[in-house]
Amino acid sequence: MRKIILIFFAAVSVSLSAQNEGIQFLGDSTLQSALAKAKQANKLLFVDCYTSWCGPCKYMAKNIFPLPEVGTFFNQHFLNWKVDCDKINKVDAGIFAKFNIHAWPTYLFLDGNGNIVHMALGSGPASFFLETGKAALDSTKNLIGLQKKINHGDRSQETLKNYYSCNINADTKYIDEHFSLVDDSVRFSPTSWELFSYFMKDIEGYSFNFFIKNKTQYEKKFGQEAVDSKLTSLFGYYARPGKESQYEKLSKIDTALFAKAKLINEFRKARMSYSADKTNKEAWDKLINMTSTLFTAHKFTVWDLNDVSWTVYENYKKFKDTNALKLAQIWSKKTVDNKPDTHAFNDTYAHILFDLGNKKEAIQKEELALKQATEQNAPDQIKFYSDELKRFRGDK
């Protein structure tokens, strides 16, 4: 009997250990409450700023945050908190307005008083995320340390790259200074192009004017796709209210590319509008129509396409819109064809197939998603896929 009890407790211990792997986020409802705990613990507060419709946010939550090595580091060095930026409460609204977050996921590392010590943006492998956390703890590499270097006149490519990587809202005048101080051999170097293409937003400064004058040469050296991508990102940035004159100026640089970028911006607006009210039939119809238009024009990233496909799967029953689900099947299949090794894509496709009555293929795809999640050690997804596979098979 004693052996049975010991075995039971050992099993429970293993189970609890598996559940506790990965980043442990505080359950506090407000940032102020989480900051108070961080201050008391004398630790920085890591804040994952995400949205429900953000594909890269979902990737990090599903594939990186649950990893044991990530959890070990972040749980040891920080207190951790997360917030859906579409649902920030009134208590915290003023604080988040000062952070000026316009892209997701954004990662904040705050001291106990709510001051930014470090920040970063985007998705990536565990190595990228761990380096972000380590940089936050390093006074020579975090945002405060980099700002000190900038203030002392450091305009080296490495410092500027690190500075803007963790401070995307910073004034890009330092990049203009860099471009004005070097010769053409440096301006056309991969490192300078990386600085400009990733971070430069000012279309009135030295570097942008140099870029426009030498656009053809940049296309030859780095490819038209890279140059178009930079312009497209600027179209999106200046599509915001209050930037109408700059938006008009950009529209004349490449009218065909501008027309395509305008479609992408309209889609983003439609997605945000529906995300704000998921019972709004008009917003639903606009989202479906904009997605169809962009899909036909081949202007989707696979992550965006997977995200909108899952949105359709989750919500089509509200509007009894089976036609939308059939469109989502086409969109989701595109993601699976492009990235067959991504378990999240196979899972989305499996759910759509199941609801459309294709049970056999749905089970095959969910089995594949489970296999891939197991190989990638994604515990939360393993459980979800296992449960859904039982549901697909009709197991009790």
Residue 52 CB-density burial (10 A; 0-12 exposed, 13-18 middle, 19+ buried): middle
pTM of the prediction?
0.67
What is the model's pLDDT at position 20? 61
Q: Which two tokens stand for residue 232?
A: 């497209």
Q: Which domains does the chain have, with CATH numbers?
A: 23-137 (3.40.30.10), 300-396 (1.25.40.10)
Q: How far apart are CA 310 and CA 344, in angstroms?
A: 10
Please report where in the chains the tokens 């050296």 appear, as a residue. Answer: 221
Q: What residue has token string 């380096």? A: 131
The pLDDT score that the predictor gives to residue 5 is: 42
- DSSP 8-state class, residue 25: B
Query: Residue 278: how many CB atoms within 10 A of its CB?
Result: 13
Helix or strand or coil: residue 356? coil
Give pLDDT, residue 304. 87
140 and 121 Cβ atoms separated by less than 8 Å: no
Q: Where are the beta strands (DSSP E) in 158-260?
A: none
Burial status of residue 142 (CB atoms within 10 A of its CB: 0-12, 13-18, 19 or more): buried
Contacting residues for 391 by C-beta, under 8 A, at least 6 apart? none
> Going residue by residue through the chain (396 aa), what tens digit of pLDDT does each one get?
444 444 444 444 433 444 468 999 999 999 999 999 999 999 999 999 999 888 889 889 988 999 999 999 999 999 999 999 989 998 899 899 999 898 899 999 999 999 999 999 999 899 999 999 999 999 999 999 999 999 999 988 899 999 999 988 889 999 999 999 999 999 999 999 999 999 999 999 999 999 999 999 999 999 998 999 899 889 888 887 788 888 888 989 999 888 888 888 888 889 888 988 899 999 999 999 999 998 887 777 888 899 999 999 999 999 999 999 999 999 999 999 999 999 999 999 999 999 999 999 999 999 999 999 999 877 778 888 999 999 999 985
With CA atoms as reference, report the closest residue to 203 among 178, 235, 227.
Answer: 235
d(CA 232, CA 105): 20
C-alpha 271/C-alpha 267 separation (Å) is 6
Pick the closest to residue 120 from 82, 169, 153 (CA basis): 169
